[in-house]
Each structure stands twice: as structure tokens, then as C-alpha cells.
Structure 1
């Protein structure tokens, strides 16, 4: 059953991720937005699951499936590599640091606040 829940969540997460990519004209800001929103949502969902407010099936559907497909480390890595290959070092460093710091802060604040 968990595989089905993850698959359903992943289906919708990947569609929303694709939609954001199109709206951002396939620019790296779309990946950044998806990853930050996904981090915040995952932090919120994990906190609910951690406190037994969110059921295991909901965690599988939303946390593992939806957030897993919605956020995208592979695209983040590819975009960072392209920035480096195009010698846009400041952009690459800013992209990596802001992605890590902002997502960590979002998860931390949400986890503590909820």
C-alpha cells in the first residue's frame, strides 16, 4: 500500500513541479522556489508526523511521495553545474548557499513553531 501512496503523491508532486518550471520559463528560480516550498512543506509534515498528528498513510502520500517528487536535487545539481561551466561562479555560489541556508531555516522555523 505504501508504494501506491508514494506513487500517487509523486504523480501530483511532479506535475506541480513541472508547472512551476514552465511558469518560471525553465529558469533556475523555478527550481529554487520548488525546493524552498517543498522544504517548508516537508518540515511541516514531518513535524505533524513526528507528533503523531499526521497518519503514516498521509506521511507516505504527502511527505515521501508529493514532497519527494516536488523537490528536485538532481535539477539543482545540474543547474549548479551549468552555472559553473558557464563561469558564472558568483551565481553558482549564491544559488547553492541560498538553497541550503534558506531551506534549512524554513524547516527549522516550521519544525519549532508547529
Structure 2
């Protein structure tokens, strides 16, 4: 049952990731950036809400796992090259971590 929930979540997250990348990735891969930061925020919020195992499988592992993308992030960073690559990679990592923390704090109510 858990694997089915993961697959159902991924069936929603993966197309959203594709659409964001398809429509927003240009000279700077804003779509890939956006899904990684948004997915990190959501995963932080889902974690703080202490979801059941089934809900976390659906929303955390399935949806957020398919929405976010390390592989596309790595490829896009390499494609940018030079200092743009470092800026994109560093900015994505810092903002994704900050978004995760913000989602967690927003739901948990702890500073």
C-alpha cells in the first residue's frame, strides 16, 4: 500500500516539475530552481506537521520527491558554467534549506 501512495504522489509531482522546467527554464533554469525551493518548503511543513506514515509517503516521498529534482539541478548548474554555475548551485542550496526551515517553523510554530 505504501508503494502505491508514493506512486500516486509522484504522479502529481513529476508532471508539475516537468511543466515548470518546460515553461520556465531558459537562460537561467528558474523552473528547476522554483520546484526545488517550493518542494523543500513543503517537505519542511509536512515534516513539522507530524503526518502519519501513509500521508508522509504520499506527500513527502511521493509528491515532494517527484517535484524536486537533484539530477536536473546538477545538469542545469553544469550547463550554466563558470561563476553562473556556482551562483546558481549555491543560491539553490541556501534558499532550499531556508525554505525547508521556514516551512517547518511555520507549521511547528517554533523559532
TM-score between the two structures when normalised by the length of structure 2: 0.88
| CA distance in 1: counterparts of 2:72 and 2:15, whole angstroms | 15
SS of 1:60's equivalent in the other structure is helix
Quote the residue 2:41 is aligned against.
Answer: 40
Report the Cα distance in structure 2 between the residues aligned to 1:80 and 1:22, rounded to whole angstroms: 16
Unaligned runs of at least 5 residues, structure 2: none
**Structural RMSD (CA):** 1.1
Q: Counterpart in 2 of 1:21?
A: 21
Runs of 4+ in 1 over 3 A off after TM superposition: none
Q: CA deviation at 1:56?
A: 1.4
Q: Match of 1:10?
A: 10
**What TM-score, normalized to structure 1?**
0.86
Q: Is the 8 A contact 2:6 2:63 kept in 1?
A: yes
Q: Deviation digits for residues 53-75 of structure 1, max 9, x if unmatched?
A: x2211110010000000000000
Q: Structure 1: where are the runs of 5+ without partners?
A: none
Match of 1:79 in 2: 76
Over residues 19-76 of structure 1, what are the superposed CA-to-partner deviations in whole Å (9 max), with x where a residue is unaligned? 112221x331110001010000111011112xxxx22111100100000000000000
8 Å contact from structure 2 (residues 43, 103) kept in 1: no
**Hey, what's the Cα distance between the residues in 2 that align with 1:110 and 1:63?**
13
The equivalent residue for 2:56 is: 59
